[in-house]
Structure formats: C-alpha cells, structure tokens
Amino acid sequence: MEENSLIDKPKRQKLSEEQGIDGNSKCIGNLPDAVLRHIISFLPIKDAVRTSVVSKRWKSLWTSNPILCFWKTLPAKRTLLMNFVERVICLRDDSDIKEFTLHCDVQGDASRVKSWITAAVRHNVQSLCICLSKLRGQFSLPRCVFTCETLESFFLDMPCILKVPPIICFSNLKVLSIQSVTFSDDYTTQQFFSGLPVLEMLFLEECRWGCLKVLSICAPKLHSLVIREADILSQSDSDGCQVTVFGASLKEFFYTGEFFNEYWLYNSFSVERAEIDVSYSDKRARQVSYRMFKVLTGLPNVKDLRLYCSAVEVLKYAPELLHRMPIFNSLIYLELGSINLACAALLKILQNSVCLETLKFFEVNLFSGHEKDDMILDPVPPCFFSHLKSIEIDSYSGYKNELSAVKNLLKNAVVLDNIVISLNHFAKELEKQEVCKQLLELPKGSQNCNLALI
C-alpha cells in the first residue's frame, strides 16, 4: 500500500457567503444592521461607499454613515471629489450626521458647497468642520448654521470676510475654532461672540478684526482660550482692536503673536494655566510691552505660567510698569524660554511669586554688565528662601555666562531639593567632562540639594 494512502487527507470545504468557519454560524453578515453601520463608520467615506458591492443587504448601509469626511485632493481630481460629495449627500437617508468635514477649493461652486453644509445641519450635525479655499467674491455660510441647536463643535477655516446674520444662537456649542477669518461689522460680530452660552473652548487663529476697534467676548462657561495672531505682513499700521474677555470660568489662556490687538482678561480670577509667546519689532516694542503687561495683570491667580521668547524681556521697554507688576500669590510653576537672569522684569516676577516651587528654563545665562555677577539677585526673591524646591535647565552648553547664571541660582536657592541640567551634545567627551566638573564644584546654598546632569 502506498504511503500517502495510509492517511486520509481531509477535504477542504468551500464556505458559502453566509457560512462561518465552523460551518454553522454566520460571520459578519449575521450581525445586526446597527452594528454593521457602526463598523462602516470607522472607514473613510470612499471605502464606506465601496461596501455597497458586498451584497444586496450592504447596498444602502453606507447611506446612514454618521461620519462624513471629504478632504481636499489634487487639482486634477477636484471635479471627481465635488461630484462624489454631491452623490453622497443626495443618496443619504434621513439618519443624523454626527461629524461632517469638508475641505475643498470652492472656486465657482459656492452654491453647491452651501447646499451641502445646509444638508448637514438638517441632519442634526453635532460636529462641523469647514475648511474652504480659493473663494471667489463674497461667501457667506448658510444662516441655519448659526442657529443649529445640535451643533456642539464648529471648526471654520475660511480666508475671507465672515458675513454673520443678525440672529445667532449656538445653544449647545461647546468648542469653537475660527481660522483665517476676517470680521468686519461691529454689531454682528459682537452678536456672534455674545451668543455662546455654553461654550467651553475657543480657538482664534490668524483672525483679523478689520475695522473693529472694540470687541467683547462673553461666554460664561468658557474655560480654555487660545489666540494665535497672524504675522506682521498681513497687518496694517492701526492700533488694532481692544478685545475684552469676560471669563468668569476661564481656566486656561494661551497666546502667540505680536500683540497687534490688545487683550484684557476681565474678572479672570479663575485662570490657573497660561502660556504666552511674544515676538515684536523695535518699532512696536513699547506698545507690545504695555499689552504684555496688561495680560499679566489679568492672571492674578495663575498657578502654571509659561513665558516664551521675548514675553518677559519686552517689558524692559516700559520700565515704569515694573513697580506695578501684579503679585502672583498662587504661582507654583514658572517656565521660561532663553533668558538673561539679570533681566529686571524677570527679577520682579520672581520677587512677586512668593510661593513658587518649580522654576524651569529652556536656556539661562547672565549678562549683567556688573563687576560682581554674584550680586545680581538682589534682593533675593522670597520664594528662594521658603518654597523653591526644583530648578530645571533644558539646554546647557557650558559657556561662562551660563555657568554664572547657574552659580547665582544655586547660591541663593537655600531650600532647593533638586536642580536638573540637560547638557547639550559636545564635540569632545573631554569638554563634557570638564563642564560637569565645573557644575559639580559650584557652591550650594541648600545642603540638601541634589544636582543631576542628564
């Protein structure tokens, strides 16, 4: 008998479309329609549409997809994209849309784009993300957007003047992000920023206030505000707009820009965290210093403060303000960019931060112009005697001015527990060893201080 006849080889079964691997149960086809729709919702919309060829049952499942995302494509394929969006919108059933995202070049299809946005609103959209480019002439969003009761998140990126209707009511809007938009009309813009009763997060990126001189942002439940201003090339020589934020519930404030506009955080005693990154030209230095100071006065109870670039050093252009620097009684964490330890504004902030526990620098150096650099912290900030437990320096190269700064910090922080210094990469290992030796030999005001070099 031949060898291969001693073992019966199992016959391979052919599974039917409805049969599972156990021969009895159905696979994905056995799942309820609601589950299948949920699975399809994780697919890109083009792939979701392709599921219609699986079987008759799958033919229309995609038409109730709760997430519709249409992304900008290559110019040569723009017509295909626009026709695809049109087909998806026209064939959709009556179910709600959870998320609707549209990124496209409008060109001559403004009416089509508006009809798609209107359709999303009529399907009780919850999250609306509209990013439009290559707009011709004026473009205004459908009025129904501004009274949509189901809308919870609204992201708008549209490089043109925003035409706002007189009636605005975002009754459930919690997250609002506006980018590249120009506001013009005083009354309607004020109505827009006053019709946000439950807004929690507001992002204003590269927006322009046009001819507006005064604006109030009234959002009683706002807890996070992010402002990133456009660069100087797009700004006029005007003094900008005076923006007052009524933030009784504001917890976080983030700003990046050149203070082309003036910001006042009114009644913002609840702000706990703030980040400010400022740049400026010599021509506007004094104006920027006043506007920077005004923001600081609106942060009396901040706990976590991060000041980057020239946010501190710009204050030297208005030295008369330093004696009016607010007291930061709640500040326990202060993070700074590259800064000179001899900066008068920095010393004033440190002296007014009586409970500061952690002080972090990206880079710190000491250019004082005095013969005795070890007297630069005079008077020594009170927190150095009582609360300052940790100092971090992110980038240390070993230059003399850096060593002088570290020497001053170690000498005067008498209750310090830890100082962590991150060393830059050195060309020669011998140089690194010498730098480490210099740091480890520095005298310490705190006997319990641990110096870590990483």
288 part of a folded domain: yes
Same domain? 300 vs 407: no
423 part of a folded domain: yes
More confident residue, 115 or 426: 115
Same domain? 294 vs 343: no
Summarised one tens digit per residue, pLDDT across range 296-335 is: 999 999 999 999 879 999 999 999 999 999 999 999 999 9
Q: Is the pLDDT confidence value at 281 over 60?
A: yes
More confident residue, 100 or 84: 100
Q: Is the pLDDT confidence value at 27 over 80?
A: no
Ranges 37-51, 139-153, 338-352, 380-394: which has the least confidence: 37-51
Q: Looking at residue 117, what is its pLDDT? A: 96
Q: Looking at residue 387, what is its pLDDT? A: 95
Same domain? 339 vs 438: yes
Same domain? 332 vs 294: no
Most confident of 220-234, 294-308, 439-453: 294-308
337 part of a folded domain: yes
Q: Looking at residue 10, what is its pLDDT? A: 47
Same domain? 302 vs 363: no
- The domain total for the chain is 2
Residue 389 — pLDDT band, cuts 50, 70, 90?
A: very high
Same domain? 281 vs 215: yes
142 part of a folded domain: no
Same domain? 342 vs 443: yes
443 part of a folded domain: yes
Summarised one tens digit per residue, pLDDT across range 60-80 is: 555 678 889 898 887 888 888
How far apart CA 89 and CA 120 sit, in angstroms, is 9
Same domain? 204 vs 264: yes
Q: Is the pLDDT confidence value at 235 over 80?
A: no
The domain in which residue 418 lies consists of 327-454
Q: Looking at residue 42, what is its pLDDT? A: 56
Q: Is the pLDDT confidence value at 36 over 90?
A: no
Residue 379 — pLDDT band, cuts 50, 70, 90?
A: confident
Q: Looking at residue 267, what is its pLDDT? A: 81
Average pLDDT, integer, range 366-374: 63
Same domain? 288 vs 345: no
Same domain? 247 vs 336: no
278 part of a folded domain: yes
Q: Looking at residue 84, what is its pLDDT? A: 87
Instruction: Name the average pLDDT for the chain.
Output: 84
Q: Is the pLDDT confidence value at 16 over 80?
A: no
Same domain? 452 vs 338: yes
167 part of a folded domain: no
Same domain? 205 vs 300: yes
Maximum Cα–Cα distance for the chain, whole Å?
108
Domain boundary among the residues 307, 342, 362 is at 307
Summarised one tens digit per residue, pLDDT across range 163-182 is: 888 888 899 999 999 999 98
Q: Looking at residue 309, what is its pLDDT? A: 78
Q: Looking at residue 46, what is its pLDDT? A: 61
Ranges 232-236, 252-256, 336-340: which has the least confidence: 232-236
415 part of a folded domain: yes
Q: Looking at residue 289, what is its pLDDT? A: 96
pTM above 0.95, yes or no: no
